[in-house]
Structure 1
Amino acid sequence: MKYTCIEVFCGAGGLAYGLKKSGFKIRYAFDNDPMAVETFKLNISPNASVEDASKITSEDLLKKAKLKKGELVLLSGGPPCQGFSRQKKDGANGDKRNRLIVKYIRLVQGIAPKFFLMENVDTFKKKRGKAYLDLLQHGLENDYNIIVREINCADFGVPQTRKRTIIIGIRNDIDCNYKFPKETHKYPNWRTVGQTIKMLEAPPADGIEHHDLPNHCLANITEKNIERIKYVPQGSGRKCLPKQLQLPCHKKKTGWPDVYGRMSWDKPAPTITGGFDNFTRGRFAHPREHRSITAREAALLQSFDNGFRFLGNKGDIRKQIGNAVPPLVGEILGKSIIKALKNGK
Structure 2
Amino acid sequence: MSKDKKLSAIDLFSGAGGMSLGFSMAGFKILYALDNDPACIETYNKNLGSHGHVGDIYEINKNVIEALAKQKIEGLDVIFGGPPCQGFSVQRRGENNDPRNQLVMEYIRLVLEVQPKFFVMENVAGLLSTRGKPVLKELEQQCEKAGYLIHIQKLNAFDFGVPQVRKRVFIVGEKTESPFTKFTFPEPTRPSLNTPSTVREAISDLMITDDELIHNHRADKLSPINLERIRSITEGQGRDSLPEHLQLDCHKNNSTHRHLDVYGRMAWDKPSSTITARFDSFSRGRFGHPELDRTITLREGARLQTFPDGYIFYGTKVQVAKQIGNAVPPLLANAIATKIKEILLAEGDG
Give the TM-score range, shorter chain. over 0.9
- CA distance in 1 between counterparts of 2:280 and 2:164 reads 16
Matched, 1:275 2:278: yes
In the alignment, which residue of structure 1 is the partner of 2:185? 180
In the alignment, which residue of structure 1 is the partner of 2:306? 303
- CA distance in 2 between counterparts of 1:68 and 1:179 reads 29
Residues 129-278 of structure 1: matches in 2 within 5 Å?
Answer: 129-142=132-145, 143-173=147-177, 177-185=182-190, 191-204=197-210, 210-253=211-254, 255-278=258-281
- CA distance in 2 between counterparts of 1:123 and 1:250 reads 24
Residue pair 1:259, 1:281 contacting (<8 A) in 2 also: yes
Residue pair 2:149, 2:181 contacting (<8 A) in 1 also: no
- CA distance in 2 between counterparts of 1:14 and 1:81 reads 18
Residue pair 1:80, 1:97 contacting (<8 A) in 2 also: yes
Tell me the CA shift for residue 226 of structure 1: 1.3
Q: How many residues align?
A: 338
Residue pair 2:85, 2:104 contacting (<8 A) in 1 also: no
- CA distance in 1 between counterparts of 2:86 and 2:307 reads 21
Q: Which moved more, 1:143-152 or 1:176-185?
A: 176-185
Seq. identity, %: 43
Q: Which moved more, 1:169-178 or 1:333-342?
A: 169-178
Matched, 1:85 2:89: yes
- CA distance in 2 between counterparts of 1:84 and 1:331 reads 25
Aligned AA (1:249): C
Residue 114 of structure 2 is aligned with which of 80, 87, 111?
A: 111
Residue pair 2:87, 2:93 contacting (<8 A) in 1 also: no
In the alignment, which residue of structure 2 is the partner of 1:291? 294
Unaligned runs of at least 5 residues, structure 2: none
The alignment partner of 2:217 has SS state of coil
Residues 5-16 of structure 1: matches in 2 within 5 Å?
Answer: 5-16=9-20
- CA distance in 2 between counterparts of 1:63 and 1:71 reads 16
Q: Deviations over 1:195-225 (max 9, x none)?
A: 1012224103xxxxx2111100122311221
Tell me the CA shift for residue 112 of structure 1: 0.5
Residue pair 1:260, 1:282 contacting (<8 A) in 2 also: yes
Tell me the CA shift for residue 279 of structure 1: 1.4
- CA distance in 2 between counterparts of 1:227 and 1:135 reads 50
Tell me the CA shift for residue 273 of structure 1: 0.6
The alignment partner of 1:198 has SS state of helix
Residues 10-49 of structure 1: matches in 2 within 5 Å?
Answer: 10-49=14-53
Q: Deviations over 1:224-255 (max 9, x none)?
A: 21111122222221111111111222221355
- CA distance in 1 between counterparts of 2:46 and 2:18 reads 13
In the alignment, which residue of structure 2 is the partner of 1:52? 56
Aligned AA (1:234): E
Q: Deviations over 1:292-324 (max 9, x none)?
A: 000000001011110111100111111111111
Matched, 1:102 2:114: no
- CA distance in 2 between counterparts of 1:66 and 1:140 reads 27
Aligned AA (2:328): V
The alignment partner of 2:58 has SS state of coil
The alignment partner of 2:200 has SS state of helix
Residue pair 1:190, 1:267 contacting (<8 A) in 2 also: no
- CA distance in 1 between counterparts of 2:161 and 2:169 reads 17
Residue pair 1:155, 1:190 contacting (<8 A) in 2 also: no
Give the aligned CA root-mean-square deviation in angstroms.
1.9
Question: TM-score, normalising length from structure 2?
Answer: 0.92
